Amino acid sequence: MRQRSVGEAALVERIEAHAAIGAIEGGGVCRIALTDADRDGRDRLVAWMRELGLAVSIDRIGNIFGVRRGKADLAPVMTGSHIDTVATGGRYDGNYGVMAGLEVVRWLNDRGIATHRPLVVAAFTNEEGVRFQPDMMGSLVHAGGLPLQQALDTVGTDGARLGDELARIGYAGGMACGSIVPHAFVELHIEQGPVMEAEGVQIGAVENLQGISWQEFTITGQSNHAGTTPMRLRRDAGYCAAAIAVFVRELALREGGSQVATVGAIDLHPNLINVIPARATVSVDLRNTDEATLQRVERELAAFVGKLADEQSVRIDTRRLVRFEPVVFDGRLVRVIERAAQTRGHATRRMTSGAGHDAQMMARVCPAAMVFVPSALGISHNPREHTAPADLLRGADVLLDVLLALAEEG
């Protein structure tokens, strides 16, 4: 018997059409949260939802929910992700999961299939956290992990207030945050890493997600002449920034296992070739699947920074930007995903997500899990981000099977 399929051409066409909004050179997308491009992307999404007969609701943090009624008035099965991107993003990160959700709805509509439970396709606000922090903000507010007013009062990197920007683009909705408590949440996403492609895996059943620790260190030294100041008398904020970057990498390599660490941003002042920096700002991203290990690595970093400040006669202020504990997804839901993929004959493995996703926030309020498909060369957050159409279709078809199974549960 021919297996059901959402259809590759329609799925790719929808992804391509949405990627044209905020398109940048090289095939990528710049659709940063609550910008004009994000508004245009939201408008297109809402229009598509309504064309499919979904009832569209927007909550006070701007999360978008398209609801397809079920035969019973029960908690819905929810899928989706986000449509905002980083400044030099790809066309699949987040967007794929939302578009695939729409294609599942289209498939059901075309066949006149009514599910027992309602289905919801969601697009959460500010998942990337580029302009406003923390990331995964919309789903975090939805799950009750961040007060709405605190989120609305967040000031972005450009000085704009989130609530004002939400109103400006027309997406300050009226629905109370957290109004929809799903029966289950399933997020379909590209892997954003190289493991699946390297191992020939077609579907990843994501069973856990790394904890994330973002910190910012501001180093205050003394600006001075690069040629006349002896090395022993310097209070060099630039050197301290470099020392932190080196220590963070060595710490992750020494720890091994799932530990990763990144210094992604360094800002020097006055940033002149012949002037010792008076000030430096350094970001540090630490991630691990084990909470105890993550805490220990944080303590080691804090001890190093304290010692560095004393040795170099500088002041180092620490600001925590984001802190999320590791998440273990619902075991039964992971098995449902695994079985659906294996039934279709796909090479499948259980996986850990190294990136943060809306599913980790939704896991606070309902059973949640994720479906991964491969990323070519493991590249993401980059215009070269690519997933082959056949892989996109496999993921969407597995999503179809999983949503249908969950939607028929009593």
Contact assessment for residue 274 and residue 225, using Cβ atoms and an 8 Å cutoff: yes
| Mean pLDDT of the 52-68 span | 98
Q: Strand, helix or coil at 68?
A: strand
Q: What is the mean pLDDT of residues 342-365?
A: 96
- CA dist 353 and 95 (Å) reads 17
What percent of the chain has pLDDT above 90? 98
How much is the pLDDT for 410? 87
Whether 387 shows a pLDDT value over 50: the answer reads: yes
Helices 8-19 and 95-110, axial angle in degrees (round to 10): 140
Torsions phi, psi for 72 (to 5 deg)? -120, 150
So what's the pLDDT on residue 1? 44
Helix (H, G, I), strand (E, B) or coil at 79: strand
Structure tokens at 209: 């997600």
Mean pLDDT across the stretch 21-43?
Answer: 97
Residue 81 has a pLDDT of 98
Give the single-character DSSP code of 245. H
φ/ψ of 30, rounded to 5, equals -120, 100
For the chain, helix, strand, coil in percent to 5 are 35, 25, 40
Instruction: For Cα atoms 321, 32, 49, give the angle at the middle one, nearest 5 degrees.
Output: 120
Average pLDDT over residues 139-158: 97
Confidence of residue 3 (pLDDT cuts 50, 70, 90): confident
Of 371, 397, 396, the residue nearest 99 (C-alpha):
396
Instruction: Say how far apart CA 118 and CA 333 lie, in whole Å.
Output: 18
Looking at residue 263, its pLDDT comes to 97
Average pLDDT on 278-307 reads 97
Q: How confident is the model at residue 76 (pLDDT cuts 50, 70, 90)?
A: very high
2 confidence band (pLDDT: 50, 70, 90):
low
Reported as a single tens digit per residue, the pLDDT across 109-134 is: 999 999 999 999 999 999 999 999 99
Mean pLDDT of 183-195: 97
Q: How confident is the model at residue 73 (pLDDT cuts 50, 70, 90)?
A: very high
Write the CB contacts of 240 (distance below 8 Å, at least 6 apart in sequence). 219, 221, 280, 308, 309, 312, 314, 316
Confidence of residue 205 (pLDDT cuts 50, 70, 90): very high
263 neighbors 248 (Cβ within 8 angstroms): yes
